[in-house]
Amino acid sequence: MRTSVLVAASAGTIITGLLAYAVYFDHKRQTDPEFRKSLKRNNRKLAKAVQEEQAAHGAAQRDAIKQAVQSAKEEGFPVDLEEKESYFMNQVAKGEGLCAEGSNNVEAALAFYKALKVYPQPKDLISIYDKTVPKECLEILAEMVAMDTTLNLDGTFTGEGPAANADNHGVE
């Protein structure tokens, strides 16, 4: 019995101490103007640090997106109709798998971007993506499309040669 009494007394003391500190903190917060100013100052510093961190993260993500688009362009895209169909299906499946994992949205958006590059009607595919792709991936994909000056959303591609444009029809 002595152990349980000792444990109960210790727990009661700790809870009373925490409650007393909470009352003291609240009283100090309400009555001491210097304390209130320091709390506001600390909150502003924290908000500024969070904002700077978000800006740095956004810049890093834009760089990663730019690098991913550049590497995809350097890899190239298939020209043959059958290769385009296979490539399209593989990239869409890869993008869906990565979105389901939720681990790397840039890689998932890159897969959807690659599929978009070989699709004959990119505008139609974008409307499908709007309905099926998660918002985070869709925003990254929109940045990728904005960075690609060779992608024409009217259904034709520019800057990829005549062979790419001639085989653009019938991929679904």
- pLDDT higher than 70, residue 156: no
Q: Where are the domains of the chain?
A: 78-166
One-letter amino acid at 16 equals: T
d(C-alpha 172, C-alpha 155), whole Å? 13
Place of tokens 């985070």: 136
28-33 average pLDDT score: 86
Comparing 159 with 112, the larger pLDDT belongs to 112
Global pTM?
0.60
For residue 61, give the H/E element and its range: helix 33-75
**Rounded mean pLDDT of the chain?**
83
